[in-house]
Amino acid sequence: MIVLNTSDSDDGLILYTQMAHAQMACQIASAWKKPEHIAQSLWDRLIDAILSHDDGWHSHDQHPTLDEHGKPNDFKFMPMHQHREIWRRSIALAMGRDWLAGLLTTMYAKDLYVSYGKHGDADQEFINELAELTSRVIQDARKRGDEDQRIVEPGCLAMLLSMFTFWDGLSLTLVGGLPWQADWQFDDGRSMLHVSKSDEQCFSITPWPLVQDNLPLSIRGMQLSENCWEDEESFQDALNNAHPIVTHVQLRSE
């Protein structure tokens, strides 16, 4: 769950599910210019991977938890043991859908834990678990034939993961789920993309990477008038009666 305050002077919250965020990331991916050297079939699989990478959040987002202060757990600050289990569920679901989707989800989760994890014993064990799974999936792909071998070549896999990572991060940033970031490493760090905003709803990317000059985006969420609850039952009641909202943003060429 992505949890945002409605304003500095308001006690309300805006909530977006991870599945809704993944759908926005997929909207961005679907509008992206396909690199000429990537086959359409592989491109389609990459777009499907970004759509499905957060599927493990579905059950949690239907019944989100509260922290010790009665506030909903934002995805960045929830208990780490819950976070790891959700990633495991997302990876398993993605792997069942397509081994490439599972591999990219695994590699992305590992990169996030290496960069932002607390690096205690449990986190390090999880990182090792993800590294072992990554190695096993790559080895299996190399045994299957030329097409799969080409996909897991370091240069190709790094490029796919770079786009996957950018689409996910940009979607979260556009709705306020991550702190604003203007400069993004791209293509495994060999190039940069600059994101700027003219107002809270309009953004541009340089160099422009999309097929069309304007891309309207939307994400469905819910608005609550309070920001903390006595227990999860009362919070669930509030969710059941929350006001539905649709947030609109636009990417446009400068």
What digits encode the pLDDT tens for the residues 127-151?
Answer: 999 999 999 999 999 998 888 999 9
Mean pLDDT of 7-20: 84
**Least confident stretch, 74-78, 103-107, 113-117:** 113-117
**Least confident stretch, 13-22, 52-61, 110-119, 160-169:** 110-119
Task: Give the model confidence (pLDDT) of 165-214 as tens digits.
Answer: 999 999 999 999 999 889 988 776 678 899 998 887 899 999 999 999 99
In whole angstroms, what is the distance from residue 155 CA to residue 211 CA? Answer: 24
CA distances to 32, 52, 84, 103 from 98, in Å = 21, 10, 21, 9
In whole angstroms, what is the distance from residue 141 CA to residue 1 CA? Answer: 33
Contact 175, 247 (CB under 8 A): yes
Residue 3, SS3 per DSSP: strand
pTM of the model: 0.93
Contact 11, 227 (CB under 8 A): yes
What residues make up the domain containing 33? 2-252
Residue 147 pLDDT? 87
Contact 222, 239 (CB under 8 A): yes
First to last CA, the chain: 32
In whole angstroms, what is the distance from residue 28 CA to residue 8 CA? Answer: 30
| pLDDT above 60: residue 9 | no
Q: What percent of the chain has pLDDT over 70?
A: 97
| pLDDT above 90: residue 157 | yes
In whole angstroms, what is the distance from residue 101 CA to residue 119 CA? Answer: 26
**What is the total count of domains within the chain?**
1
Residue 120, SS3 per DSSP: coil
